[in-house]
């Protein structure tokens, strides 16, 4: 099984990739500044070039995408476009451009997060983008052919990022790494389609 992981060197991505490699899956890592192939997910041409380079795949896993965090009163229109261009349209374009490269029964897994349902302060942009992706995944699943699937993984604050972000998430419990990995494994190897796989 050939799996492309965009963001495979990131905090969550490297855990998922290590697990997949330990299970002997063929994994290709894509990232903005490192990886087997580089890609800027805010740029459709870069995404198209990445798929051209890696060829057909059984699974595309996106564990990447950014949004600007700040008090709502500080966020400009341009600041909102950071999340729209990166996490939202970056992942929409991974589907739009990547689906033809998926083998039959192949899947795409996107990453969203807890903020869609349980936002904290400074996350109007990030929460909005996550919620939009949840609706997108449900609608896209209705149109996929050849047994292809699409899902979103929505996790709480992961234990590897807990120290960095805990001040933003008072009272939240860090999500243990085995549960982080398993949410992605469920999306990649399960039969789920059009689902938001939540763990928080
Ligand atoms: N951390 C958490 O607790 C948590 C919880 C729920 C959801 N999430 C979501 O999960 C995703 C990954 O989170 P993370 O904590 O693992 O982030 P991270 O450590 O910052 O890693 C992000 C990865 O994505 C890549 N990336 C970023 N922008 C890119 C772009 N424009 N084009 C291509 N690659 C790009 C980065 O590559 P470079 O390093 O080369 O830039 C990096 O490998 C994010 O969307 C985040 O919102 C995170």
How does pLDDT run across 146-194, given as a tens digit for each residue? 999 999 999 999 999 999 999 999 999 999 999 999 999 999 999 999 9
Domain positions in the chain are 2-199
Pocket test for ligand 1, best of 16, 33, 47, 65 (most atoms within 8 A of CB): 65
How does pLDDT run across 12-40, given as a tens digit for each residue? 999 999 999 999 999 999 999 999 999 99
How does pLDDT run across 121-155, given as a tens digit for each residue? 999 999 999 999 999 999 999 999 999 999 999 99
- Nearest CA owner, ligand 1 atom 5: 157
DSSP labels, the chain: -EEEEETTTSHHHHHHHHHHHHTT-EEEEEESSSSSEE--TT-HHHHHHHHHHH--EEEEEE-------S-GGG--HHHHHHHIIIIIHHHHHHHHHHGGGEEEEEEEEEE--GGGTS--TT-HHHHHHHHHHHHHHHHHHTT--TT-EEEEEEE--BGGGHHHHGGGSTTPPPBPHHHHHHHHHHHHHS---S-EEEE-
Domain covering 2-199 assigned CATH 3.40.50.150 in the classification? no
How does pLDDT run across 83-107, given as a tens digit for each residue? 999 999 999 999 999 999 999 999 9
- Nearest CA owner, ligand 1 atom 41: 32
**pTM (two decimals):** 0.98
């Amino acid at each position: 099984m050939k799996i492309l992981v965009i963001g495979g060197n990131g905090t969550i991505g490297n855990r998922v990739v290590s697990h997949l490699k330990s299970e002997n899956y063929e994994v290709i890592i894509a990232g903005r500044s490192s990886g087997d192939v580089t890609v800027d997910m805010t740029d459709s041409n870069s995404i198209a070039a990445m798929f051209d380079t890696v060829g057909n795949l059984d699974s595309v896993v996106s564990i990447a995408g950014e949004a600007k965090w700040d008090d709502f009163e500080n966020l400009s229109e341009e600041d909102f476009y950071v999340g729209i261009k990166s996490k939202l349209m970056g992942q929409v374009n991974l589907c739009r451009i990547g689906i033809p490269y998926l083998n039959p029964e192949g899947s795409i897994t996107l990453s969203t997060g807890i903020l869609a349902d349980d936002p904290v302060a400074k996350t109007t942009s990030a929460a909005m983008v996550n919620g939009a992706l949840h609706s997108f995944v449900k609608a896209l699943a209705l149109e996929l052919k050849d047994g292809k699937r699409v899902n979103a993984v929505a996790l709480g604050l992961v234990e590897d990022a807990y120290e960095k972000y805990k001040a933003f998430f008072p009272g939240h419990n860090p999500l243990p790494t085995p549960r982080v990995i398993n949410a992605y494994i469920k999306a990649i190897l399960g039969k789920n389609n059009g689902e938001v796989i939540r763990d928080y």
